[in-house]
């Protein structure tokens, strides 16, 4: 199931999948975890490791008790991640809970029951349950890591803040935020990487709360005619967020300007936008995925930090690989400056793409996951890469 | 001679032969001498004749050619060129001719040709004789003339000699007189000099007395004049005690006079003319010019202010515009009761006089006489009383202080060179003085001696003065223009403006501008005035178009006259727009343009006006489209403040005012989109053509109403409008699409919320929202009792939307039966239902075919088909399910990518509704994926999907396959998301749907 077509690498899970997360890596390899969503079948967690030299993906599989709706990996420990999983109790009530798991990798090359996957580097491991966030109404849909001791869970109608102790395996709720409009549900939330703030979307509105005071910091009410489905916070530029909604549009907001509307509106999708992700290193690159089966790589250079600092982009230097590349490319000479607009539309998926994630180590690698269980690893097109590096 | 001709002879011979008409002689060989003499005379005669007829040259040339030829091919080549058989040719050879004759012709023929020849010869002879006679008579008269001349010349000589003699006599006597009178003349000249000196001296000695007298009689002008005239004399003879005394005396008097003058100048009631005059006097007395100009400026400004207030008061009661007497309306007379009696008398004097004549009359008498109200309009009075004063002030100020005239050196007051920047002013300075009417210009002597009385200011002082007056003047001018502006009101109903009034006001302004040259030069008065006119034009255009725009938007917003009328009413609106332009706007503007206004008479003025209009027109479209979009977005937010369910129920059950407004707002964007398309299709073009044909018509305008006379041969649109026109059409299209897509996605989203079980509302006012609880698909009873509430509602709303769409966009007519026609509807439904079931079955079997090792008992296990009751078993092998998943994935691989929110290209009912359906079904498919179903929930989805298939079919005629595949996918998803998937068989589903039949 592995394929390399125009520098992309696909991996098939044979399960319905919805959630994907990039995990921290210590050895410079891009890693992602994927949770499956099968109501009646055993569910799995797949840990995918991308080997750049071989240009292939190797996977480690873990069993997971329930269908997984969301997954979020720790920013510090590569083995820790939360899943939000749902189960039906007595055929009457479905309940979602969030659990923290630790991956325990088994030995490599262990034979899996499926003969078709023999050629792949396939191994199995086991999950160790660290703790469970004990939530009352059982509608937890998302967990966000603040740091290794504090996480935030998003439910249909409230957001809870937890203090967790990983060693002890305990979690304590320290505060909660109720939804301002009971007619809607929280659809997503994100941490402000620049401040103690959580930003959540519900219905057509965006709102931020201060984490310590639990007071609202800003509200953009009824920002658009359609529902908002996802959001991301610009990792390098404070006050800038991106949202995707049911009208297929991606909007970039300045949260200080709550009344003037978005600073940019991008419409390249023809159905709901399910996921939006800023590139951590170059925030002019924004990935969006949609149920029109497309993944779009957008450039918003005109409103990114790249526009502020024409030359120095120090973030990139963290990465040895791109540094080396940069030296190679220096001989090529000056490229055209990057411009706003769609950089590339990736259409390797056949079903709705519910999640995209950038690699945590390589600024040019990302993965997208569609409902039919197809995970595709792609790279930023080299022309765009050159443009960004050269400028 | 003969010897000279000799060498030519052999060649000449053939020429001579025919004219001699002696064939015998030429044919026989005679002696050379006799022949030579005979040919010589003959040749002479011939050459005369040839000269006379002017054929010398040609023949000579031919001879040359012939000679050359003959030298190379003797006798051969020449003959080929010139026909030897042609009698008239020079190459004629008698022998050959005769020979030919003899060979070719019989006797009668020969005789006949001989006769012909003889006749020809006679004819030629006669011609020659006539010629000779004619020339002979001329010669006779010439001889006479010569004789006469001879006798005359004899006479002339004697006369000439006498004349010379007389003249020399005169010269001698004249010189004698001159010498004798020489001495006396010198004396007379001296005496004359003495006399004038004495006169001057007397004047000087009498000066103090005179000045006294002047002081007493207050004729200061005279005093200053006299003083100035003698001043240089006194200065010159300063060393003489007598003169010093006089000078001193004069000076004391002059100081008094200056004092007096200053007093007079400062007096409250001093008019501007007096002030100017007095300043001139003071200047002549060499007062400090800097202080003077400051004072002058201050005083005049005061005076002007007074004049202004007075004028404004006096014109308050005056009308803005007096129509020509012929069209004199009683209304305007009633407006000015004060002026009426005078006016009538005026009218009597100039019964047929036009407005212009009257204005001039008014101006003339106005400035000359008291403020007696003569028939005049506000602006012309203002111009005459105020502007003219300003003009006078400015021009005298300039000539006093700012100008160094060329005559300056003569008067000796100032030797300062004129600054180069002032030079152009100097050149044109005589103009205002000479062109200004004498009655209003400064006193004659100032005008005359304007060169003499001007201040000797240094360059810096001058610059300072210029700056000060410029400031003052610009203030005055702006005040003036404000006044004018205040006359131009723009009422809400722009068409109620009488363009004549405005045009007249501006016209007067324009005339005023032209006549105030120095104002123009000093403060750019003309450009300010032009700016005002421009402003007026653009505001006129803008206002008139804004009115149309408001009307248009009002028409859009006002509730339509019910069902079916929308298409018509859109057409009507477009037509209305066209009519408004044809009937109101364009004729109105044409009227404005066509009046007698001179400022529009010029080419540039016209072009400017048209440019203004063009810009305004473009802006008009932009604004209309923009406002439409704003309206649409406003209405969308208004809609979103109400629940979708709320809206729909109120709409269908009891249309309250809020719901009606809401309903309208949704419809508005639909209507506006159609209007945009309508506009872009025809109306814009028509309008631009119309405008191009009328306002932009090249050549003579002024035929208002010509708009209505439409010629069928359309002239091409004016080039400058082409570009605009294309842009506007394009943006109309664009806006139409935007509005329509907005409508589609909004409606689609609202319907989606229904099936997604979302209530996007903060206010739960709706009665249904209480009875409607969010559905828990996990615990729904099995089998479902009917179609879910949401889908019933969707269906209801879709019908309503379809009604709106048809009302606006029209029914394309491919549907025979109306959707309200239940019987035909159900009939169709019946017919659809079965094929649908069959299709699913078919696809199932197709899958079976590709699936060779399937269990026999699960024939119809394809996930795409739930119609079969063999699906009851819930025990699916995982590999089997995998395969089915794979198959459906393969299906997807080969089906086209579905785009949900896309530009609706098919601007018909089908296209629009299909756009909505797509959004709805895809949203449903997505929302089903996020749910978990119990047995009943899954069956509910099955029932709903079947219901959708049956009832939404007719909304999705554009692409039925897409609808089916979306519905199948939804059911398939629901199946996988169900904890206990037990599909209903098709009969059950059908009966459930039937049970909930409306």
Q: Give me the residues paired with residue A178 across strands.
A: A158
Q: Give me the residues paired with residue A369 across strands.
A: A355, A375
For B589-622, give the DSSP string. Answer: HHHHHHSS-STTTSHHHHHHHHHHHHHHHHHHHH
Look up residue B590 and give its two tokens.
Answer: 């044409």
Q: How does pLDDT run across B841-865, given as a tens digit for each residue?
A: 333 333 333 333 333 333 333 333 4
C-beta atoms of A247 and B745 within 8 A: yes
Q: List, in sequence order, the alpha helices (H) in B783-821.
A: 789-809
**Nearest C-alpha neighbor of B69 from the set B60, B54, B80, B58:** B80
Is B667:B558 a contact under the CB 8 Å cutoff?
no
C-beta atoms of A183 and B762 within 8 A: yes
Give the closest-approach CA distance of B395 to chain A in angstroms. 56
Do β-strands A56-64 and A43-51 pair in parallel, antiparallel, or remain unpaired?
antiparallel
- From the number of C-beta atoms within 10 Å of its C-beta (0-12, 13-18, 19+), residue B983 rates as buried
C-beta atoms of A183 and B761 within 8 A: yes
Q: Give me the residues paired with residue A233 across strands.
A: A241
pLDDT of residue A233: 93
Q: Within 10 A of B390 (CB to CB), how many other CB atoms are there?
A: 28
Contacts of A16 in chain B (CB under 8 A): 976
- Does B889 lie at the interface with A, CB-CB under 8 angstroms? yes
C-beta atoms of B932 and A94 within 8 A: yes
Among A225, A275, A354, the strongest candidate for a mutation testing the B interface, having the largest count of B CBs within 10 A, is: A225
Handedness of CA B546, B552, B555, B558 (dihedral sign): negative
For B460, list phi and psi in degrees, rounded to 5: -65, -45
d(CA B482, CA B503): 16
Interface of B with A in 921-960 (CB under 8 A): 922-923, 926, 929, 932, 934
Give the closest-approach CA distance of A273 to chain B in angstroms. 11
Is A210:A217 a contact under the CB 8 Å cutoff?
yes
Among B926, B927, B981, the strongest candidate for a mutation testing the A interface, having the largest count of A CBs within 10 A, is: B926
Q: Which residue of A has its CA nearest to B895?
A: A350
Question: For residues A302 and B522, which has the higher predicted lDDT (pLDDT)?
Answer: A302
- Does B711 lie at the interface with A, CB-CB under 8 angstroms? no
Q: Which of B636, B764, B979 sits opposite A88 (nearest CB)?
A: B979
C-beta atoms of A352 and B762 within 8 A: no
Q: What is the dihedral of CA B924, B929, B935, B938, to 10 degrees?
A: 30
d(CA B781, CA B934): 9
| Tokens 């006044």, located at residue | B483
For B413-439, give the DSSP string. Answer: S--PPPPHHHHHHHHHTHHHHHHS-TT
Contacts of B976 in chain A (CB under 8 A): 16, 39-40
Return the SS3 of A23: strand
d(CA B738, CA B735): 5
Q: How does pLDDT run across A85-132, given as a tens digit for each residue?
A: 888 887 777 888 889 999 887 654 444 444 444 445 578 888 888 888
Q: List, in sequence order, the alpha helices (H) in A76-201.
A: none
**Nearest C-alpha neighbor of B461 from the set B430, B422, B424, B406:** B422
d(CA B236, CA B234): 5
Q: Within 10 A of B242 (CB to CB), how many other CB atoms are there?
A: 11
pLDDT of residue B918: 84
Local structure of residue A139 (DSSP, 8 states): B
d(CA A125, CA A131): 19
Q: Please name the CATH architecture into which domain A1-178 falls.
A: 7 Propeller (2.130)
What are the residue boundaries of the structural domains of chain A, listed by start? 1-178
- Write a three-state SS string for B904-943: CCCCCHHHHHHHHHHHHHHHHHHHHHCCCECHHHHHHHHH
**Whole-number Cα distances in Å, B71 to B58, B83, B94:** 20, 18, 22
Among A94, A95, A186, A266, the strongest candidate for a mutation testing the B interface, having the largest count of B CBs within 10 A, is: A94
Contacts of A248 in chain B (CB under 8 A): 900-901
- Does B73 lie at the interface with A, CB-CB under 8 angstroms? no
Q: Helices B719-756 and B789-809 sit at what angle, rounded to 10 degrees?
A: 160
Task: List all residues 6 or more positions away from A77 whose beta carbon is below 8 Å from its beta carbon.
Answer: A24, A148, A166
Cα end-to-end distance, chain A, whole Å: 38
Give the closest-approach CA distance of A174 to chain B in angstroms. 29
Residue ranges for chain B with pLDDT beneath 70: 1-43, 49, 52-82, 268-270, 286-287, 315-379, 402-458, 488-504, 518-523, 557-569, 591-604, 634-667, 695-719, 758-775, 811-898, 996-998
Is A355:A73 a contact under the CB 8 Å cutoff?
no
C-beta atoms of B889 and A271 within 8 A: no
pLDDT of residue B355: 36
C-beta atoms of A16 and B760 within 8 A: no
C-beta atoms of B901 and A92 within 8 A: no
Contacts of A41 in chain B (CB under 8 A): 878
Q: Which of B749, B902, B932 sits opposite A88 (nearest CB)?
A: B932
Q: Give me the residues paired with residue A202 across strands.
A: A186, A205
Contacts of A269 in chain B (CB under 8 A): 901
Q: Which residue of B has its CA nearest to A226?
A: B749
Handedness of CA B109, B112, B116, B121 (dihedral sign): positive
Is B897:B885 a contact under the CB 8 Å cutoff?
no
pLDDT of residue B891: 60
Contacts of A288 in chain B (CB under 8 A): none
Q: Which residue of B has its CA nearest to A248?
A: B901
C-beta atoms of A225 and B749 within 8 A: yes
Q: Give me the residues paired with residue B122 across strands.
A: none
pLDDT of residue B405: 44
C-beta atoms of A204 and B760 within 8 A: yes
Q: How does pLDDT run across B382-418, given as a tens digit for each residue?
A: 777 777 777 777 777 777 776 654 433 333 333 333 3
Is B109:B117 a contact under the CB 8 Å cutoff?
no
C-beta atoms of A39 and B978 within 8 A: yes
C-beta atoms of B932 and A247 within 8 A: no
C-beta atoms of B640 and A204 within 8 A: yes
Interface of B with A in 627-686 (CB under 8 A): 636-637, 640
Question: For residues A333 and B963, which has the higher predicted lDDT (pLDDT)?
Answer: B963
Task: List all residues 6 or more positions away from A218 whose beta carbon is below 8 Å from its beta carbon.
Answer: A206, A207, A208, A255, A256, A258
- Does B774 lie at the interface with A, CB-CB under 8 angstroms? no
Among B782, B863, B874, B929, the strongest candidate for a mutation testing the A interface, having the largest count of A CBs within 10 A, is: B929
- Does B905 lie at the interface with A, CB-CB under 8 angstroms? no
Task: List all residues 6 or more positions away from B71 whose beta carbon is below 8 Å from its beta carbon.
Answer: none
Look up residue A373 and give its two tokens.
Answer: 């269980």
**Whole-number Cα distances in Å, B740 to B644, B743, B904:** 19, 5, 8
**Nearest C-alpha neighbor of B610 from the set B691, B726, B703, B686:** B691
Give the closest-approach CA distance of B936 to chain A in angstroms. 11
Return left, alpha or beta for B446; rule: phi > 0 is left, psi -120 to 50 is alpha, else beta. alpha
Local structure of residue B377 (DSSP, 8 states): -
d(CA A158, CA A152): 10
Q: Give me the residues paired with residue A358 across strands.
A: A366
Contacts of A270 in chain B (CB under 8 A): 899-902
* A-B Cβ pairs (cutoff 8 Å, strict): 87
Local structure of residue B978 (DSSP, 8 states): B
Look up residue B28 and give its two tokens.
Answer: 């026989």
C-beta atoms of B745 and A41 within 8 A: no
């Amino acid at each position: 199931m592995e394929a390399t077509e125009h520098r992309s690498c696909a991996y098939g899970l044979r399960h319905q999948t919805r959630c994907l997360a990039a995990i921290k890596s210590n050895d410079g390899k891009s890693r992602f975890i994927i949770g499956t969503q099968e109501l009646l079948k055993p569910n799995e967690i797949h840990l995918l490791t991308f080997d750049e030299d071989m240009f292939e993906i190797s996977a480690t599989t873990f069993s997971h008790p329930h269908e997984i709706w969301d997954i979020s990996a720790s920013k510090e420990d590569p083995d820790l991640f939360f899943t939000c999983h749902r189960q039906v109790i007595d055929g009457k009530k479905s309940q979602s809970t969030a659990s923290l798991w630790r991956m325990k990798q088994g030995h490599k090359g262990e034979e899996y029951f499926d003969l078709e996957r023999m050629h792949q580097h396939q191994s199995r491991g086991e999950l160790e349950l660290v703790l469970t966030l004990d939530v009352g109404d059982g509608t937890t849909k998302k967990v966000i890591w603040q740091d290794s001791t504090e996480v935030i869970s998003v439910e249909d109608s409230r957001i809870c803040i937890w203090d967790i102790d990983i060693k002890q395996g305990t979690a304590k709720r320290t505060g909660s935020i109720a939804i301002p409009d009971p007619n809607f549900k929280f659809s997503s939330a994100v941490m402000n990487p620049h401040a103690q703030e959580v930003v959540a979307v519900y219905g057509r509105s965006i709102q931020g709360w201060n984490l310590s005071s639990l007071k609202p910091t800003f509200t953009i009410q009824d920002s658009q005619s359609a529902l908002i489905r996802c959001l991301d916070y610009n990792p390098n530029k404070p006050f800038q967020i991106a949202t995707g909604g049911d009208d297929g549009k991606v909007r970039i907001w300045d949260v200080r300007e709550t009344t003037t509307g978005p600073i940019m509106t991008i419409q390249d999708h023809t159905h709901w936008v399910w996921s939006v992700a800023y590139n951590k290193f170059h925030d002019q690159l924004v990935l969006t995925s949609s149920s029109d089966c497309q993944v779009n790589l957008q450039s918003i250079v005109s409103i990114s930090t790249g526009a502020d600092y024409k030359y120095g982009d120090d973030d990139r230097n963290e990465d040895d690989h791109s540094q080396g590349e940069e030296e190679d490319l220096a001989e090529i000479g000056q490229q055209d400056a990057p411009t706003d607009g769609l950089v590339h539309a990736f259409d390797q998926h056949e079903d709705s793409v519910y999640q995209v994630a950038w690699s945590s180590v390589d600024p040019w690698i990302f993965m997208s996951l569609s409902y039919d269980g197809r995970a595709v690893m792609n790279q930023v097109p080299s022309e765009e890469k050159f443009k960004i590096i050269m400028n | 001679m003969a010897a000279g001709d000799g060498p030519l002879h052999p060649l000449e011979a053939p020429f001579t032969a025919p004219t001699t008409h002696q064939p015998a002689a030429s044919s026989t060989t005679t002696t050379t001498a006799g022949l030579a003499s005979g040919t010589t005379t003959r040749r002479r005669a011939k050459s005369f004749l040839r000269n006379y007829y002017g054929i010398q040259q040609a023949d000579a040339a031919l001879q040359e050619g012939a000679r050359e030829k003959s030298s190379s091919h003797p006798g051969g080549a020449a003959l080929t060129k010139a026909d030897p058989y042609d009698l008239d040719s020079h190459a004629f050879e008698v022998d050959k001719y005769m020979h030919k004759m003899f060979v070719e012709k019989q006797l009668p023929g020969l005789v006949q040709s001989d006769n012909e020849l003889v006749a020809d010869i006679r004819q030629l002879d006669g011609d020659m004789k006539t010629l000779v006679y004619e020339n002979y008579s001329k010669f006779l008269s010439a001889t006479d003339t010569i004789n006469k001349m001879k006798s005359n010349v004899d006479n002339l000589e004697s006369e000439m000699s006498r004349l010379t003699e007389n003249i020399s006599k005169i010269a001698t006597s004249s010189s004698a007189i001159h010498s004798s009178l020489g001495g006396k003349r010198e004396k007379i000249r001296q005496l004359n000099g003495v006399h004038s000196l004495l006169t001057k001296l007397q004047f000087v000695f009498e000066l103090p007395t005179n000045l006294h007298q002047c002081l007493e009689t207050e004729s200061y002008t005279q005093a200053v004049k006299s003083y100035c005239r003698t001043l240089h004399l006194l200065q010159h003879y300063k060393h003489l005690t007598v003169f010093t005394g006089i000078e001193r005396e004069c000076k004391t008097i002059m100081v008094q006079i200056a004092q007096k003058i200053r007093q007079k100048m400062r007096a409250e009631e001093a008019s501007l003319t007096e002030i100017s005059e007095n300043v001139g006097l003071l200047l002549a007395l060499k007062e400090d010019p800097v202080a003077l100009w400051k004072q002058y400026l201050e005083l005049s400004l005061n005076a002007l202010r007074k004049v202004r207030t007075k004028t404004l008061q006096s014109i308050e009661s005056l009308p803005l515009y007096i129509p020509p007497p012929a069209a004199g309306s009683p209304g305007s007379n009633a407006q000015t009761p004060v002026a009426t009696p005078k006016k009538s008398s005026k009218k009597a004097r100039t019964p047929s006089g036009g407005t212009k004549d009257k204005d001039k009359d008014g101006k003339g008498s106005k400035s000359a006489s008291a403020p007696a109200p003569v028939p005049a309009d506000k602006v012309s009075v203002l111009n005459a009383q105020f502007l003219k004063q300003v003009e006078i002030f400015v021009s005298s100020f300039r000539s006093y202080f700012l100008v160094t005239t060329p005559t300056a050196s003569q008067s000796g007051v100032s030797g300062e060179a004129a600054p180069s920047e002032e030079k152009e002013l100097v050149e044109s300075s005589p103009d205002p003085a000479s062109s200004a009417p004498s009655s209003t210009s400064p006193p004659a002597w100032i005008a005359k001696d304007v060169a003499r009385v001007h201040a000797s200011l240094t360059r810096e002082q001058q610059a300072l003065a210029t700056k000060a007056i410029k400031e003052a003047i610009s203030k005055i001018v702006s005040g003036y223009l404000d006044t004018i502006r205040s006359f131009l009101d723009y009422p809400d109903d722009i068409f109620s403006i009488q363009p004549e009034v405005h045009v007249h006001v501006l016209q007067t302004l324009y005339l005023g501008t032209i006549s105030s040259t120095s104002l123009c030069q000093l403060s750019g008065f003309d450009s300010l005035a032009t700016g005002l006119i421009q402003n007026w034009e653009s505001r006129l255009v803008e206002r008139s178009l804004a009115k149309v725009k408001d009307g248009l938007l009002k028409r859009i917003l006002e509730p339509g006259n019910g069902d079916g009328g929308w298409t018509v009413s859109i057409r009507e609106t477009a037509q209305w727009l066209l009519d408004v332009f044809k009937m109101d706007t364009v004729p109105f503007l044409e009227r404005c343009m066509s009046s007698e206004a001179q400022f529009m008479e010029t080419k540039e003025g016209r072009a400017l006006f048209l440019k203004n209009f063009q810009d305004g027109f473009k802006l008009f479209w932009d604004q209309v489209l923009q406002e439409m979009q704003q309206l649409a977005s406003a209405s969308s937010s208004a809609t979103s403040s109400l629940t979708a369910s709320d809206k729909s129920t109120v709409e269908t059950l009891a249309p309250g005012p809020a719901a009606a407004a809401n309903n309208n707002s949704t419809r508005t964007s639909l209507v506006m989109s159609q209007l945009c398309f309508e506009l872009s299709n025809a109306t814009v073009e028509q309008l631009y053509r119309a405008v191009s044909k009328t306002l932009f018509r090249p050549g003579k305008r002024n035929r208002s109403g010509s708009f209505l006379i439409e010629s069928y041969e359309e002239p091409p649109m004016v080039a400058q409008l082409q570009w605009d026109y294309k842009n506007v059409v394009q943006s109309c299209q664009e806006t139409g699409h935007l509005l329509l897509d907005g409508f589609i996605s909004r409606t689609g989203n609202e319907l989606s919320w229904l099936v997604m079980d979302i209530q996007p509302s903060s206010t739960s006012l709706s009665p249904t929202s209480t009875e409607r609880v969010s559905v828990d698909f996990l615990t729904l009873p099995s089998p479902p009792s009917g179609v879910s509430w949401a889908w019933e509602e969707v269906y209801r709303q879709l019908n309503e939307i379809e009604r709106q769409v048809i009302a606006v966009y029209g029914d394309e007519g491919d549907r025979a039966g109306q959707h309200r026609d239940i019987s035909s509807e159900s009939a169709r439904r019946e017919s659809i239902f079965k094929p649908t079931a069959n299709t699913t079955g078919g696809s199932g079997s197709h899958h079976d075919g590709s699936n060779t090792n399937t269990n026999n008992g699960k024939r119809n296990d394809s996930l795409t088909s739930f119609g079969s009751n063999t699906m009851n078993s819930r025990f699916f092998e995982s590999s089997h399910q995998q395969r089915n998943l794979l198959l459906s994935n393969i299906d997807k691989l080969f089906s086209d990518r579905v785009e949900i929110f896309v530009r609706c290209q098919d601007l018909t009912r089908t296209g629009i509704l299909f756009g909505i359906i797509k959004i709805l079904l895809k949203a449903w498919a997505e929302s089903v994926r996020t749910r978990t179903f119990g047995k009943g929930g899954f069956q509910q989805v099955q029932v709903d999907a079947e219901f959708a298939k049956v009832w939404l079919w007719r909304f999705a005629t554009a692409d039925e396959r897409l609808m089916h595949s979306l519905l199948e996918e939804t059911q398939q998803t629901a199946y996988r998301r169900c904890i206990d998937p037990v599909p209903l068989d098709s009969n059950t589903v059908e009966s459930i749907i039937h049970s909930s039949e409306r």
